[in-house]
Structure 1
Amino acid sequence: MYLPGYGGHNRTVAQHELRTIGVEEELLLVDPVSGAPQAVSGAVIRYAKDHAGVTLSGKRAEPFETELQREQLETGTAPCASLADLADDIRGGRQAAAEAARGVGAAVVALATSPVTVHPSITPSLRYRRMAYAYAQTADEQLTCGCHVHVNVDSPDEGVAVLDRIRPWLPPLLALSANSPFWQGRDTGYHSWRQQVWGRWPSSGPTELFESAKGYRTAVEAMLDSGALLDEGMIYFDARLSRHYPTVEVRISDVCLHADDTVLIAALVRAMVDTAAQAWRAGIPPDRVRTDLLKLAVWRASRSGLLDDLVHPVTRRPAPAQAVVQALLDHLTPALTASGDLDTVRRLLRRLLERGNGAQWQRHVYTRARDVRAIVSEAIAQTSGTAEEP
């Protein structure tokens, strides 16, 4: 995904400039009949290259990328300033992925874990083979799909100031996006089992305060010097500075079943970045909440999603999920108003809360059909946009 360079715009409240947003979605490749994941990412990418019609609105030279497992595919948007353009790119990417998958007899689903039993296979690149050897079963079982939101920042210092200030507000994003209740054919009891599996990586999760760009680099270099990570690409923080783009990259969310939910998460992340950057410029220090408390908040969001108490980002006490979501919306309302996104976010959020997150949708389908394959079958239509939302 191409994103422009650091602009040094020195944004102010009085002279607000929209930050661009880019979204990367990881999708499962499945057999359209059995619902079982299929190790065909290489074939899908070759098909897309051989068929010029399979593109993302002509905005990306390479429409798809491989991931650790051959049963998944990554698609990404161009940098977008408006939520309408972002929505078009997200839907276009999903439709292009569905078309390319059909070309090799497969389908794509926006599910963060496979409901159907699977034995994943590592993508045969040198780096991924090294990861498989170094991390053993942790790598073998990492067939999980996330949603990564990139938002432009003006400098590394601004980016780190943002990272330091958004920490308490990330767990509600996981509760909203949670879309992985099933694992190896059974209900885990979690809304986001992906978060539990992903948490096995040694560098994953919430972070301490970095204080400055230098502090961030010092922390990253110390992690690499430990020898526990293969390379900087394995800095798997819930939110990090992108290695390739001048962005903050928020990685905590499951891939969302519904494209509208992805747009909502992206809009909330942009507002988080704006809110945090303005606080930094105003000299407001970050909340010094302990990292162990943040881990508890992430676990709580992973466990119960929107159906039980979450850890409130301000009080650190249990609070109903909808109260926590409302606190998040209140916290971001000035930034959403300035960007012109408030009405859209309210509409999308209301729709998600009425319908439920992806985990609730999956369990509803399973309760009706009593077969995990039905979840995949119905998710194929939801992902490609050929089915109406419930």
Structure 2
Amino acid sequence: MRDSYVSSAGVRAGQGQLTVGVEEEFALADAVTREAALVADAVVEAAGRLAGDGHVVGEMSLAQLETVSGVCSDVRQLRTEVMRLRRCAAHAAQEAGCLLVASGTVLLGDPGPPPLLDKPRDHAIAARFGRLVEQQCTNACHVHVGLPDLTEAVQVANHLRPWMPLLLALTANSPFCGGRDTGHASWRTMLWDRWPTATPPPYLRSVDHYEEVVAALVDSGAAVDPAMLYWSVRPSRHVPTVEVRVADVQPDPEDTVAYALLVRALVAAALTDLREGKPALPVEDTVLRAAMWRAACDGMAGRALTLPLPGPHRSVPVWQLTEALMGHVQGHLRKTGDFDAVRRWLARLRRHGPGAARQRAVYERTERLEDVVDALAVSGPARHDVAPDRKGGAVREDTVQPT
């Protein structure tokens, strides 16, 4: 997929409040058949005119696109930006005769092989990874939190990594793919994990250790360059942020906003622990990977290992570990005024489940995946809702690569 990212302008901690930005990937489906629509080039061009340069970009598949928010400092800005960009992209999709679909995978049809730009890097990726670059229409939600100090960013990633399975369980939104129920809550995760660097990050001892790991992965051929480190949480290579990449794209903008606020609070809590000298828990890589699979398989319906908590690992209901997470971050959520928004989101998840459960509920009622596609379609706007916002822009690297 084409690498896009939040602008570095203003992405920093300021006045005690961390900035946040969101990237959301969406599928395109034909408005009549509900199958994958390979029209991203036209939709991206039209959406870009509405949203502003760099805020809607292409991805690897012609059946998907990505929205890239500007830098936000509070919930009002973030909600406005997420909703504006969704509306811009949905409006452009409608003009092209298709739907903008908020699902981690394509439910119906074949997204096809990727279009490759005629650049050496893109050809190198295709030659090295072969069929891995095919059928790679997976749609995630990436959250950037401003953190300009690389030493702190590396250590914050250590503190966040044990929470990645829980964040995945809360945001799983891809049970169907290619016309079938996959038996997983996040099939996107299973497809994405085929890439050799699409893993939870290792426990990093220092910036030097981080750079050594990056260099070794590139030297091994598992990545053609450092930008191909697809860890579920990582210091960004392009902008001064910590980037959390574990979630499926969310079905509703309020889901996206609340999830991003929760991630920001987790980063704030990690910074507090780091500055107070509290070490991150060195969870074993194999155990963390197993917990990620369990979250991808079960979503919120299963159990979770207590990896972020001191003591021996135990298997508990996902909701029990969620309460522990809220206890860990509630002070930071209250400080920024975000506690109620996140709590309402979690209460909604407890009643209805994450996107995966909601998708299956629609299918159980109608037995038609076309109806599930319709339920996930992003609503189009009135024209005044999609006026470009030129402030706090976004930029992209014009390459074809998974991101």
Of residues 314, 318, 323, the one that matches 1:326 is: 323
Contact 2:38 2:111 in 1 (8 A): no
Kindly indicate whether the alpha-carbon contact (under 8 Å) linking 1:110 and 1:383 is maintained by their aligned counterparts in 2.
no
Corresponding position of 2:245: 251
8 Å contact kept, 2:25–2:249: yes
| Residues 1:184 and 2:178 aligned together | yes
Aligned to 2:91: 99
What code does the residue aligned with 2:76 have? Answer: A
**146-155 or 118-127, larger mean C-alpha shift:** 118-127
**Aligned to 2:144, what secondary structure does the other structure show?**
strand
Tell me, in whole angstroms, the C-alpha distance in 2 between the residues paired with 1:284 and 1:151.
21
Asked if structure 2 preserves the Cα contact closer than 8 Å seen for 1:42 and 1:70, the reply is yes
Superposition deviation, residue 219 in structure 1: 1.0
Moved over 6 A (4+): none
Give me the whole-angstrom Cα distance separating, in 2, the residues matched to 1:384 and 1:110. Answer: 13
Q: 1:76 to 1:343 in 2, by over 3 A?
A: same
Matches within 5 A, 1:130-145: 130-145=124-139
Task: Answer whether contact 1:300 1:311 (CA < 8 A) is retained.
Answer: no
1:127-164 per-position Cα deviation (integer Å, ceiling 9, x unaligned): 44443332222221211100000000130011011001
Q: Is contact 1:71–1:121 with CA below 8 Å preserved after alignment?
A: no
Q: Which amino acid aligns with 1:20?
A: T
* TM-score, normalisation: structure 1: 0.91
Task: Answer whether contact 1:47 1:104 (CA < 8 A) is retained.
Answer: no
TM-score (norm 2): 0.88
State whether structure 2 residue 269 is matched by structure 1 residue 275.
yes
The 3 A distance-change label for structure 1 pair 134 and 278 is same
- CA offset at residue 89 of structure 1? 0.7
Letter in 1 for 2:97: G
**2:287 paired residue among 284, 293, 298:** 293
Q: Distance in 1 between matches of 2:115 and 2:258?
A: 31
Where do 5+ consecutive residues of structure 1 fail to align?
10-15
| 1:113 match | 105
Q: Counterparts in 2 of 1:306-325, with a 5 A limit? A: 306-313=300-307, 314=309, 315-325=312-322
The equivalent residue for 2:351 is 354
Q: In the alignment, residue 8 of structure 2 is paired with which amino acid?
A: L
Closer, same or farther: CA 8–362 of 1 in aligned 2, 3 Å: closer
1:200 to 189, 194, 203: 194
Q: Could you report, residue by residue, the CA deviation over 1:55-83 in whole angstroms, capped at 9, with x for unpaired residues?
A: 2xxxx422311111111100011111111
Q: 1:146 to 1:385 in 2, by over 3 A?
A: farther
Letter in 2 for 1:301: A
1:4 to 6, 9, 12: 9
Residues of 2 paired with 1:111 and 1:209: CA distance?
A: 31
Which residue pairs with 2:214 in the alignment? 220
In structure 2, how many angstroms separate the alpha carbons of the residues matched to 1:214 and 1:335? 30
Deviation at 1:316, TM superposition (A): 2.2
Shift of 1:119: 4.3
Q: If each structure's strand is expressed as a fraction of its own residues, which one has the higher value?
A: 2
The separation in 1 between residues aligned to 2:265 and 2:81, in whole angstroms, is: 20
Contact 2:104/2:138, CA 8 A, preserved across alignment: yes
Q: 1:153 aligns with which of 147, 151, 174?
A: 147
Give the structure, 1 or 2, with the largest relative contact order (CA under 8 Å, sep 6 or more). 2
Runs of 5+ unmatched residues, structure 2: 1-5, 383-403
Give me the whole-angstrom Cα distance separating, in 1, the residues matched to 2:9 and 2:65.
Answer: 24
* Residue 374 (1) aligns with residue 368 (2): no
Alignment deviations for residues 281-331 of structure 1 (CA, whole Å, 9 cap, x no partner): 111111011111111111111011111212223252110111011111111
The answer for the alignment partner of 2:29 in structure 1 is 30
Cα deviation, 1:111-139, whole Å, max 9, x if unaligned, reads 10011131423023134444333222222
Map Cα deviations across residues 209-255 of structure 1 (whole Å, 9 max, x no partner). 11222221121111111122222221000011112210000000000
The residue type paired with residue 57 of structure 2 is: E
Q: Is the 8 A contact 1:122 1:129 kept in 2?
A: no
Instruction: Give the paired residue count.
Output: 372
Give distance in 1, aligned partners of 2:277 and 2:254: 35
CA–CA distance in 2 between the matches of 1:104 and 1:8? 40
